[in-house]
Structure 1
Amino acid sequence: MTLKNAFKTTAAVSTVALLGSLSGIAQADTWRYAHEEYEGDVQDVYAYKFKEYVEENSEHNVQVYRFGELGESDDIMEQTQAGILQFVNQSPGFTGSLIPEAQIFFIPYLMPTDFDTVVQFFRESDAINEDFVELYADQGLELLKMYPEGEMVVTADEPVTTPSGFNGKKIRVMTNPLLSSTYEAFGATPTPLPWGEVYGALQTNMIQGQENPIFWIESGGLYEVSPNLIFTKHGWFTTAMMANQDFFEDLSADEQEMVRMASEYAFNETIEHIDGLAEESLDKILEASDDVTVTRLSDSQIEAFKKRAPMVEETFIDMTGNSGQALLDQFKADLDAVQ
């Protein structure tokens, strides 16, 4: 461990210890909420819209913590399950080890990439709004809202248009077995890394690519060290906002309803925010760097990747069994209803 990482770990542990010591004496009207992104990013917009609604419609205050302030994604989930945090935003990419069925979002070409269709799906899907609620409840979490953040874009050390173009390339993935299966199917070597190590790994060629929504590629400066953007249309980045279940169940019925309304308000405001965000972020990237290339796969090129998707679907069923099959069937039915 480097001195910098040791300092970061010590600081995170100290912060958690401090929050833990305060949890018994903190004012009852202060709720703590952590997410995985930076100031102004999509999860930050959602968190502050949630905070806005809560504080305007109740006596409560919401304290928001951004990426790194309380550790990485695994850390804030542990703190939420322990009751140190009341609310957390975590993507299924990290929740997959806790809730294997959440990995369904990483089956390539299952989700559409058309904005209006994606939004309608998240609003109306029984899989999203009913089935996942039960799955999260089994882990002591009250799922309040799942929402999309943006189309996934791959960056690499050179433009790629075919699965063979990924051969020999190490592509960073979240610590998620199914996402690893996706990039194996695409021909790459999946390499799990925490977010804090990605920029440096790209810079030193330890990895040759990664995937993220375009706003995150711009916000995190990934295009500086991985300048070839590849639009594969294989899916959308999804995240979930949830509460510690014991905390939520101890709220009054009126407060529970207020929290649900706050999560819905934040959802609507966030959807408005992401409409057009990808185009704005791409414009910023192209303005900032002359080294960036943009590759948008044609229908025939996409088809070559799509042909490899069924093997990932099979892996998902192997991982999740009957519950995964039932969820996948409902997912497809919900998608058919909105397409």
Structure 2
Amino acid sequence: MSLTSQLKKIAGISCVAATLATATGVAQADTWRYAHEEYKGDVQDVYALKFKEYIEDNSEHTLQVYRFGELGESDDIMEQTQAGILQFVNQSPGFTGSLIPEAQIFFIPYLLPTDMETVVKFFRESKAINEDFTELYADKGLELLKMYPEGEMVVTADEPVTNPQDFKGKKIRVMTNPLLSSTYEAFGATPTPLPWGEVYGALQTNMIQGQENPIFWIESGGLYEVSPNLIFTGHGWFTTASMANKDFFDDLSADDKQMVRDASEYAFNETMKHIDGLADRALDKIVKSSDKVTVTRLTDRQIAKFKARAPKVEKTFYEMAGESGKELLQQFKADLDAVAK
């Protein structure tokens, strides 16, 4: 029996028990399941535990949190959420992009600013984030609770990189996301989709020569051990999203719906406090852990060479996401302009 089949069986038993409890007049307190893509103590884990804290402090419900690998990879936990086995899931647009093409907007390089204050303000206030995406996720049976940033993307490679020519011939691991592949093609590299569980070994054996992730993930996953050259290209932020199975959410009472939304807002605020200074602390740990690490921060002139290739990726986004993607990007840019002003 597959993992998903086993979980469906468990979910079915839980459903029967809940029905019997309701029928006999027993007060109902549910155990909800929440899965995310990261390790203990990482940003998604912080968000999940704050979400759990609010739920359990403000209701009789309990929340079981599952971390990376406990229920499979990212694709597995999304499948389980859509099937109703999990009530909540945290998944980045890097994987959701195959389900919701418009979510790939976050992989258009140099679209988001690099300073944290502006990025967080954008996620709080953006109409594209807080209204338009909600509709797109709902069409796929998902109730979008909160999109939030985790950290600036940093590239690691087998040698320092300062211009697109340095990427020539290098296989760079990407998530299973077509637009991210287009980004690294534009940068001059050979994009190589791989599930997360295979990345460390592929770097170690030189099957791939680099990858990208926020710096805290590079530190916690030990990627700098096998890919020691860190390159700050300034091309984007890692973004993720907390969501619920829509059928489950729609069946909640009005009070529980509001409580879940309040929990997501509380978790967002606490997580933004957590990531403030997180990148600097993670980089400090990396540098102290290995004398093989190099840190390259591209100058404005060096960044301009990469940024000049971004319009090609934007054009690819239009082709993938269609008219709705074009409208979303226009709103996205308008929201960024509003925040900048």
Same topology, TM > 0.5: yes
Shift of 1:13: 5.0
Whole-angstrom distance in 1 between the partners of 2:13 and 2:155: 42
What percent identity do the matched residue pairs reach?
A: 81
CA contact (8 A) 1:23 1:84 kept: no
Whole-angstrom distance in 2 between the partners of 1:17 and 1:146: 28
CA contact (8 A) 1:169 1:207 kept: yes
Q: Are residues 1:287 and 2:288 paired?
A: yes
Query: Any residues of structure 2 matched to 1:178-327 within 5 Å, and which?
Result: 178-327=179-328
CA contact (8 A) 2:8 2:85 kept: no
User: Any idea what SS the aligned residue of 2:64 has?
Assistant: strand
Shift of 1:18: 5.4
How many aligned residue pairs are there?
330
User: Any idea what SS the aligned residue of 1:38 has?
Assistant: coil
Aligned residue number for residue 7 of structure 1: none
CA shift digits 1:62-95 (9 cap, x unpaired)? 0000000000000000000000000000000000
Q: Are residues 1:24 and 2:15 paired?
A: yes
Shift of 1:12: 4.3
Whole-angstrom distance in 1 between the partners of 2:4 and 2:138: 27
Q: Are residues 1:115 and 2:106 paired?
A: no
Q: Are residues 1:153 and 2:144 paired?
A: no
Shift of 1:29: 1.0
CA contact (8 A) 2:4 2:80 kept: no
Query: Any residues of structure 2 matched to 1:37-48 within 5 Å, and which?
Result: 37-48=38-49
Whole-angstrom distance in 2 between the partners of 1:138 and 1:13: 23
CA shift digits 1:300-327 (9 cap, x unpaired)? 0000000000000000001111100000
User: Any idea what SS the aligned residue of 2:15 has?
Assistant: coil
Under a length normalisation based on structure 2, what TM-score does the superposition of the two structures give?
A: 0.95
CA contact (8 A) 1:16 1:70 kept: no
> What is the identity, as a one-letter code, of the residue corresponding to 2:232?
F
Under a length normalisation based on structure 1, what TM-score does the superposition of the two structures give?
A: 0.95
User: Any idea what SS the aligned residue of 1:171 has?
Assistant: strand
Whole-angstrom distance in 2 between the partners of 1:112 and 1:43: 21
> What is the identity, as a one-letter code, of the residue corresponding to 1:305?
F
> What is the identity, as a one-letter code, of the residue corresponding to 1:90?
Q
Structure 1 portions without partners, runs of 5+? 1-9
Residue 18 to residue 221, structure 1, CA distance change in 2 (3 Å):
farther
Whole-angstrom distance in 1 between the partners of 2:168 and 2:6: 42
The CA RMSD over aligned residues, in Å, is 1.3
Whole-angstrom distance in 1 between the partners of 2:292 and 2:64: 40
Residue 310 to residue 26, structure 1, CA distance change in 2 (3 Å):
farther
CA shift digits 1:244-276 (9 cap, x unpaired)? 000001011111001000000000000000000
